[in-house]
Amino acid sequence: MKYKLIALDVDGTLLNDDHKLSDENKEAIAEVTRQGGQIVLCTGRSPQNSIPFMEELGLEGYVLGHNGGATVSVSDRKVLDQYGMDGRGSIRISNTAGSMTSILTSAQPSKCMWTTWRT
C-alpha cells in the first residue's frame, strides 16, 4: 500500500447525507486496512461522538476530535493529547458572511461548549 495512514473527516466525507456510513465507504476502508493502512478520524465532533464510527468499522487506533483539540485512543478511550482553554475567557468567531456567530467557552480545559446563533 502506498499510504500508511489515511486521515478522514467525518461529516460530509465519511458519512453520507443521512449521517450514516455507506456500504461503499465501509468496503473501501476494509480494503485499506487489509492492505496494512491505518485509518484516523479527524473531526470537529467530540471523540465520544466519533469513536462509535470507528467501532462500527471494526477499527482501533485514534480519533482527533474537537477540530484537533483532543487525540483519543479508540480502544481504551484514553486522552493522549488535548489543547484546551482556561476558564478565564471565551473566543468569539464570526463567519465571513457574517450570518453566524459562535462563542467557545470552557470552564475546564477538557470540556468545551459552542454556542451558535444567527445574527
Interatomic CA distance for residues 19 and 5, integer angstroms: 23
111 forms beta bridges with 108
CA 20/CA 27 separation, integer angstroms: 14
Of 9, 11, 18, 86, catalytic: 9
Cross-strand bridge partners of residue 79: 72
State the DSSP H helix or E strand holding residue 48, giving kind and residue range, or none if neither: helix 47-56
Q: Catalytic site residue 23?
A: no
Nearest to 102 by CA among 110, 111, 90, 94: 94
Active site residues: 9
